[in-house]
Amino acid sequence: MGITGRSDRTKFRHQVLNPLLEAGLIEMTIPDKPRSSKQRYRLTERGRRILR
């Protein structure tokens, strides 16, 4: 959250994570448990292509 300048988790989720998920640029590592404390996110192939 530090890189994006956000400090509120809810706003970060709504303004950053959800749009990236919907665009298919990132994906959840545990899609069955979106609120898991162990949840992480990784770049999709599409996200990698955009960053190159």
Dist. CA 2–CA 23, nearest whole Å: 22
Classify the C-alpha dihedral 20-24-26-32 as positive or negative. Answer: positive
Q: Which residue has the higher pLDDT, 34 or 6?
A: 34
pLDDT at 50 over 90: yes
Confidence at 9, pLDDT banded by 50, 70, 90 = confident
Which pLDDT value is given to residue 19?
98
pLDDT digits (tens, 9 = 90+) for 13-45: 999 999 999 999 999 999 999 999 999 999 999
pTM: 0.81
Domain locations in the chain? 9-51
d(CA 20, CA 26): 6
Residue 30, C-beta contacts closer than 8 angstroms, at least 6 positions apart: 36, 38, 39, 40
